[in-house]
Amino acid sequence: MDTLTREAVRYLGYGNHAVDEQTMALVRTSIEELRDIARDRIIYRIFELETDGNESVKIGKLDIKSKNLAKNVRGCSQAVLLGATLGIETDQLIRKYTVTNMPRAVVLQACAAAYLEEVLDQWQDGLKAEMLEEGWYLRPRFSPGYGDFDIRHQKELLQMLDGAKKIGLTVTDGMMLSPTKSVTAVIGVSKENVPCHRSGCEMCGKTDCIYRRNSR
Amino acid sequence: MILERLGKELLYFDGGTGTLLQSKGLKPGELPETWNLLHTEEMVDIHRQYFEAGSDIVLTNTFGANALKFHNTEFELEDIVTAAVVNVKEGAYLGVHDNREVYTGLDIGPTGKLLKPMGDLSFEDAYEAFRQVVMCGEAAGADLIHIETMSDTYEMKAAVLAAKENTNLPVFATMIFDEKGKLLTGGDVPSVVALLEGLRVDALGINCGLGPEQMLPILDEIMKYATIPVIVKPNAGLPKQRDGEVYYDVVPEKFADVMQEIVRHGASAVGGCCGTTPDHIRAMIHKTKGMRDLESQNRPVPSEVTIVSSYGRAVILGEKPVIIGERINPTGKKKFRQALKDHDIDYILREGIEQQDNGAHILDVNVGLPDIDEPTLMKEVVTELQSVTSLPLQIDTVDAEALEAAMRIYNGKPMVNSVNGKQESMDTVFPLVKKYGGVVVGLTLDEDGIPETAEGRARVAGKIIKEAEKYGISRKDIVIDVLAMTISSDPKGAKTTLEALWLVREQYGVCTVLGVSNISFGLPYRPAVNSHFYTMALQAGLSAGIINPMSEDMMRSYYSFCALMNYDENCEQYIARYGNQTSMQTVSKNTEITLRMAIEKGLKEEAHHAASALLGIKEPLEIINEQMIPALDEVGKGFEKGTVFLPQLLMSADAAKIAFAVLKDEMEKKGGTSQKKEKVILATVKGDIHDIGKNIVKVLLENYGFDVIDLGKDVAPELIVETAVKEQVQLVGLSALMTTTVVSMEDTIKLLREKKPDCKVMVGGAVLNQEYADMIGADFYGKDAMQSVYYAQQLLEKR
C-alpha cells in the first residue's frame, strides 16, 4: 500500500484493521478522480524569524505566542510561510457525492486530505534540497490550529501571502480555510541541522485519537 | 466622453502602484489605501508620473477599499475613496501638459472572501460592499468604474451589478487568468466573456497574474468570443522571489514590444499591472502610438457566438448539437411534485446530477407548482444546483418575479425559458435579459396563437428578434423554439416543425431549441417516435433539444447522429458509451443473496433486487422487521465494536435506503400511508462550513426512520430556533468543527433554551468532547454518528 492510500485509510478511522475490498475500491477511484480534477496550488514566502525558543515567535511583523511553535522553530532565523489548496473543484465534487453517494463523499474527503499532504510533502522535499544548497535546513511544517498555535493567525498568514489573489485561498469569519481542502503552515529555517524525530501527528498530545498514526 | 473613444482609438491605462508606493516608503502590512490621506503628495506624484508618461486613464488607489477588506478604525472608507479620486484629478492637473482628455478610473478589487455556496460571503453582502464604494466614487467625480483582478465570476457579477444599478458611470471589468486560460474558480475564457457581455459592461479583459507574453494566447481566445472592446493589463512578467521579496523583471522595452503585439491581436485599451512603472507605460505608448486609430487597422473581427455559461464552463450553441435535460420539472411527475412540497432539495439535485452523468449539457429548471413560493424556491434550487454541478442552467418559469430572482443570483449567463411573440411577454422578459444577460428561448406563438404553417412561425420568430433589437439584445442571444405539436392531434405537426426549424435558421441565422417529447403525446410506445423525431430535428438543424437524458432511446439517437455527422471525432464518444455494450449486458446479478446480507455488505443493487423479490411473499412491514432492522442493528453494533468502519456503515445505509424505497412504493401502491415520522433538525452552526459530519448523521437518522430537517451549514441560531418552534421539533443536532465555531453552538443552545425549552440538543464535531459539551449546555454529546442515532431513538422512543 502506498503512503497516500495508507494515510487515506487512516483518516477513515481504520487504525490497524484490514480494509474491506469495497472501501479499497472506493479509495482507488477517489485518488484517480483527485489526480484528474484537483488543481493543487502552493504559494510561499520567506520571512525573517525571531524567537526566544520558549513562547514568543516573530515572523516578519507578525507576533505569535505559542509554546508549540516556538519549540518547533527554536534556533531558526527564517520562516517559510506557506499556503496550499486543492481548489474549489474538490469541494464541489465532495458536495456532489454528498447528495448522490455518501460513502463516496466520505472516502473522497479522506483521500483529498491525504492527497494534499502528499502534494505538500513532495513540494517540501524540493524546497529542502534547494535550501540545502545554501546551507539552510527546514523544520517540519506547523499549522495554525495545532497545539497552542492559535487558529486566528490563519488570517494574518494569508494576508502576508496574498493567498486570495494568488491561489484563491481565503479564510472565513470563523477562521476556516475556504476552499476547505487547504493548509497554511510555518516552516522554520535554520543553519543548524536539528534532527526531528517527531513531526505532525506524533507530536499531538491527544494520544487516544482514533486517527492517530501508528508508531510502527 | 470615454465611451465615444473606447474601441475607436487605442486607450492607455496607467501601470502598477504597489512597487512605487514601496519605493516611497510603504511598509509591508500597511494598508496602501491609507496613503490617499496620510501621504497625499506622494500619491498625487505617482498619478502625475503616469499622466506624464501618457496614460489616458489613471486608476485610483482604492484596490482594497471595500468594507470587507479594509479594516481600519482610523479612517472612514468614504474619506479614503473621495481622497483617492481627488488625488488622481490632482495628478492629472499636474501631469497633463497637452490639453488631452484624461479620465479617473475608480479602481475596484476583490473582497478577498469566497462567496457562498463554497465560501461564507453572501452575494448580497458582496453587492453591498461594492455599492458603498461605487456610489462614493461617483459622487467624488470618478469618470468610470474599473473592476479588476477578479478571479471569481460570482464576485464580479456582484460588483458589476452594484456599479450598474447605483451609478451612471461606464463599467470596465477585467479578470485574472492563469496560464491555461482558467480562473482560480474554474471559469474559462468563453464563460467569462459570456457573463460580462451579458451584464453589458462597456469593456472587458484580463489583468495581473501573468506577463504580456503569457497573456497573448488568452487574448486570442477572448477575441474569438468578445464583441466589445478588450482591455489587457499584464504584470511586468511572472513573479519571482529574492530574499523573501516578490519582484518582476520584464524591462520597459521588452514590455513595449509585446504590448505592440497585443494591440495587433485586438486589444483596445492597454496598461500595466504589478511591477510596471511609468517607464513601462512610456515605452509602450512610444511603441504603439502609430496604432492609435484602431478603426484604420486590420484587426480581428468580432464573431457572434451564442454562449450559455455557468461559473465553470461555457456551452456554445450552433456547432455540435446540445442536450438540455428536461427532468427538473414537476409536470406529470408525482414524486417530483412531492419532493417540491416536502422541500426535498436533495431529490432535485440528484435529478440534476443524474442527467449530467448521462450526458446533458444544460439543465432546464422548472419548479412551478400552484401554492408554492416560486421566487424563493427557484432561487434556492438554482443556488444549490450550482453547488453540485457546473452545467449551465435554463431558468424555466412563467413567473416574472421568480425569473428575475433566479437571473440575479445565477452565477453565469443562463438560458431563459421563455419569451414569446406576445407583446406582454416581450415587455416582461426582455428588460431582464438586457439587465442580467442570458440566452432567451423565443416561442413562436403570439396573441393569435400558434401559427399553423412554418412560414407563420418564422414570422413570429422575426417579430421576437426585431423587438429584442430595441433592447440591444442581439440575435446571438435568442434561440427560437418553433414548437413541436403532437402528431396525434395535428397529423402535419412534425412536418411543419421540421420545415420551420430549417426556415428560421435560413432566414435569421439564429440557433434553435425544441421540446422534443411533446410530438408523441397520446401515442403508445412514445420513445420510438420521440427518438426518431429527435434525429429528424437534428438533421433539420436543431441546435438544442430539450430531452430526457435518462431515456436511452434519445441518447442513442444523439450519439449516433453525432457520430454520423462528424461531430464526434473518431466516434470517440460513441465508442466510450457503447463500446462495452455486450459485456454490460452479461453482468450477472447475484440473486442468491438475502436482503439482510445485502444490507450488511452494503450492496445496493442486490438490496434492491432482494427487496423486490421478497415483496412477492411477505408484507413490507414484515420485511422491515425481519430483515432490515436486524441488518442495520448488526452493522451498527459492528461499528460500535470497531469491526465495521465508517465507509461500510454508510454503504449499508445506502443499501437499506434503496430497499426502503422499494417497500415504500409498494405500500403507497396499496394505498397505505407510511407512519408519521419523528422530526429532527440538523445543522452545522453559524460560521462553520464543514458539513460532512452532519451529513453522515443525516444519512443514518433517515435510515432509522427519522424525518430530518437539514438546515445545511453556516446556519444562524435564529433560523434553527425558528424552525424548531414552527415544526414542533423535539430534538436538534448541531455540528461544529473548530473552537472558533463552538461559540455559535453555545449561542444556538442558549437561544433554544429561551425560546423552546422542551427541545433537546445533541452536539458533535471534531473539537467537542463530553466536557466541552457539558460546558456549553448540550443535552448529549455524540462521539460518533451511531451515538446520535441511539440517543434520538431513546429520546423519541422509536421502536
Give the model confidence (pLDDT) of B683-726 as tens digits: 999 999 899 999 999 999 999 989 999 999 999 999 999 999 99
Q: How far is B140 from chain A (nearest CA, A)?
A: 28
Q: Which residue in chain B has the smallest CA separation from A20?
A: B648
Query: Which has the closest alpha carbon to B290: B271, B263, B320?
Result: B263
Indicate whether B27 pLDDT > 90.
no
Q: How many CB pairs under 8 A join A and B?
A: 157
Amino acid, res. B445: L
Distant-in-sequence, close-in-space partners of A17: CB < 8 Å, separation ≥ 6: B642, B643, B645
Query: Which has the closest alpha carbon to B224: B155, B314, B149?
Result: B314
- Per the DSSP assignment, residues forming a β-bridge with B395 are B365, B416
Average pLDDT over residues B498-517: 96
Peptide bond into B190 cis (omega under 30): no
Q: What residue has cell string 407510511?
A: B674
Q: How far apart (Å, rounded) are the C-alpha atoms in residues B226 and B229? A: 8
Indicate whether B80 pLDDT > 70.
yes
The answer to whether B414 touches B383, Cβ cutoff 8 Å, is: no
Which among B113, B645, B695 has CB closest to A170? B113
Give the model confidence (pLDDT) of B723-740 as tens digits: 999 999 999 999 998 888
- Record: contact A165-B28, CB cut-off 8 A: no
The count of residues in chain A is 216
Indicate whether B262 pLDDT > 50.
yes
Q: How far is A47 from chain B (nearest CA, A)?
A: 6
Q: How far apart (Å, rounded) are the C-alpha atoms in residues B321 and B543? A: 5
Query: Which has the closest alpha carbon to B314: B430, B236, B413, B400?
Result: B413
- A145 inside 8 A of chain B by CB: yes
The answer to whether B789 touches B700, Cβ cutoff 8 Å, is: yes
Average pLDDT over residues B261-276: 96
How do B57-59 and B11-12 pair as beta strands? unpaired
Task: Quote the cell numbers at residue B791.
Answer: 440517543
- Record: contact A46-B244, CB cut-off 8 A: yes
Q: How far is B154 from chain A (nearest CA, A)?
A: 13
The answer to whether A73 touches A141, Cβ cutoff 8 Å, is: no
Using DSSP, state whether B674 is helix, strand or coil: coil
How do B230-233 and A41-51 pair as beta strands? unpaired
- Record: contact B695-A14, CB cut-off 8 A: no
Give the model confidence (pLDDT) of A96-111 as tens digits: 999 999 999 999 999 9
Give the model confidence (pLDDT) of B557-600 as tens digits: 999 999 999 999 999 999 999 987 654 444 445 557 899 999 99
pLDDT of residue B584: 46
Task: Quote the cell numbers at residue A47.
Answer: 520571512
pLDDT of residue B538: 97
Query: Which has the closest alpha carbon to A113: A94, A135, A141, A128?
Result: A94
Give the model confidence (pLDDT) of B138-186 as tens digits: 999 999 999 999 999 999 999 999 999 999 999 999 999 999 999 999 9
- B72 inside 8 A of chain A by CB: no
Q: How far apart (Å, rounded) are the C-alpha atoms in residues B463 and B280? A: 52
From the number of C-beta atoms within 10 Å of its C-beta (0-12, 13-18, 19+), residue B580 rates as exposed
First-to-last alpha carbon distance for chain A, in angstroms, is 15
Mean pLDDT estimate for chain B: 94
- A96 inside 8 A of chain B by CB: yes
Distant-in-sequence, close-in-space partners of B586: CB < 8 Å, separation ≥ 6: none
Indicate whether A215 pLDDT > 50.
no
> Chain B residues with CB inside 8 Å of A178's CB?
114, 118-120, 689
- Record: contact B602-A107, CB cut-off 8 A: no
Average pLDDT over residues B208-230: 96
DSSP structural state of residue B589: P
* Mutation for B interface: A95, A148, A204, most B CBs within 10 A: A95
Which among A145, A170, A174 has CB closest to B741? A174
Please, which residues 704-763 of chain B have a Cβ atom closer than 8 Å to chain A? 737-741, 744
Give the model confidence (pLDDT) of B311-362 as tens digits: 989 999 999 999 999 999 999 899 999 999 989 999 999 999 999 999 999 9
- B346 inside 8 A of chain A by CB: yes
- Record: contact A106-B739, CB cut-off 8 A: no
Which among A26, A87, A94 has CB closest to B647? A26
Measured in whole angstroms, the distance separating CA A102 from the mean position of its chain's CA atoms is 25
- Record: contact A103-B688, CB cut-off 8 A: no
pLDDT band, residue B798 (cuts 50/70/90): very low
- Per the DSSP assignment, residues forming a β-bridge with A56 are A65
> Chain A residues with CB inside 8 Å of B390's CB?
92
- B371 inside 8 A of chain A by CB: no
How many helices (DSSP H) and strands (DSSP E) are in chain A? 7, 8
From the number of C-beta atoms within 10 Å of its C-beta (0-12, 13-18, 19+), residue B500 rates as buried
Per-position DSSP letters for B263-299, written without gaps between them: HHTT-SEE---TT--HHHHHHHHHHHGGG-BGGGS--
Which among A45, A87, A178 has CB closest to B241? A45
- Give this complex's ipTM: 0.90
Q: How far apart (Å, rounded) are the C-alpha atoms in residues B279 and B83? A: 26
Q: How far apart (Å, rounded) are the C-alpha atoms in residues B348 and A167? A: 33
- A176 inside 8 A of chain B by CB: yes
pLDDT of residue B585: 46
The count of residues in chain B is 799
pTM over 0.90: yes
Please, which residues 426-445 of chain B have a Cβ atom closer than 8 Å to chain A? none
> Chain A residues with CB inside 8 Å of B110's CB?
164-165
Query: Which has the closest alpha carbon to B350: A93, A109, A101, A26?
Result: A101
How do A177-178 and B314-317 pair as beta strands? unpaired
Using DSSP, state whether A197 is helix, strand or coil: coil
Provide the CB-side half-sphere exposure for A68 (13 A, CA): 18
Peptide bond into A103 cis (omega under 30): no
pLDDT of residue B582: 58
pLDDT band, residue A214 (cuts 50/70/90): low
